[in-house]
């Protein structure tokens, strides 16, 4: 499923329409997806900014549900441009190319976490790929051009902290 399809489904839902009537000034500031190796979505979540320190998270599955959370923004929250050119399905080829560039082509992707967000006023896909080789590939991909802004790889053990 594509980001645009998920967004459209949310906006056409009665749940979202009721919510929007109560909260007129909301805007989309983040989208979170967990993808299976075949790029089917496992988790679909869209986050809307309400006010100073409140956000509404919409979970899109068979049903659409939401909850309101308080949070402490790390920086100024701004609206996402919903008309992106690089969608979830486009990430497959970009990830495949990065695996080849990083000599990780023997590794298969187990799970992908893809977050559409703004970082330093640049809208991007923040992608984390968990690989069968116990490695992690992290990518920042411009959601309008497909340019890989940043690419890092590491062992899963680099990300696990053991406290004694």
Q: What is the pLDDT of residues 105-134, one digit of tens each?
A: 777 899 999 999 999 889 999 999 999 888
Residue 163 belongs to some domain of the structure: no
Of 130 and 40, which is predicted with more confidence? 130
Q: Report, as an integer, the average pLDDT of 51-74.
A: 90
- Give the chain's domain count: 1
**H-helix segments, the chain:** 3-12, 14-22, 88-101
| pLDDT-based confidence at residue 39 (cuts at 50, 70, 90) | confident
Residue 164 belongs to some domain of the structure: no
Domain range for 82 is 3-158
| pLDDT-based confidence at residue 138 (cuts at 50, 70, 90) | very high
Residue 114 belongs to some domain of the structure: yes
CB 145 within 8 A of CB 122: no
pLDDT score, position 25: 92
Residue 142 belongs to some domain of the structure: yes
DSSP strands (E only) in the chain? 27-35, 41-51, 54-60, 64-70, 109-119, 122-131, 135-142, 148-155
In this predicted structure, the answer to whether residue 142 has a pLDDT above a threshold of 70 is yes
CA-wise closest residue to 117 among 108, 109, 126: 126
Q: Give ∠ CA 38-40-42 in degrees, rounded to 5.
A: 120
61, two tokens: 């599955």
Which of the 8 DSSP states describes residue 133? T
Report yes or no on whether pTM surpasses 0.95.
no
d(CA 37, CA 35): 7
In this predicted structure, the answer to whether residue 163 has a pLDDT above a threshold of 70 is no
Residue 38 belongs to some domain of the structure: yes
Task: Give percent above pLDDT 90 in the chain.
Answer: 70
């Amino acid at each position: 499923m594509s980001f645009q399809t998920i967004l459209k489904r949310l906006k056409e839902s009665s749940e979202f329409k009721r919510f929007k009537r109560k909260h007129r000034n909301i805007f989309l500031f983040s989208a979170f997806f967990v993808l299976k190796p075949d790029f089917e979505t496992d988790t679909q979540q869209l986050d809307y900014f309400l006010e100073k320190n409140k956000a509404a998270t919409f979970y899109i599955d068979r049903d659409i549900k939401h909850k309101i959370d308080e949070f402490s923004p790390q920086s100024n929250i701004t609206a996402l441009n919903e008309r992106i050119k690089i969608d979830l399905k486009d990430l497959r080829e970009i990830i495949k190319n990065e695996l080849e560039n990083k000599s990780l082509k023997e590794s298969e992707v187990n799970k992908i976490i893809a977050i559409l967000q703004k970082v330093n006023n640049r809208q991007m896909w923040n992608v984390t790929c968990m690989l069968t080789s116990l490695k992690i590939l992290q990518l920042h991909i411009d959601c309008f051009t497909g340019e890989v802004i940043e690419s890092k790889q590491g062992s899963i053990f680099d990300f696990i902290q053991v406290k004694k």
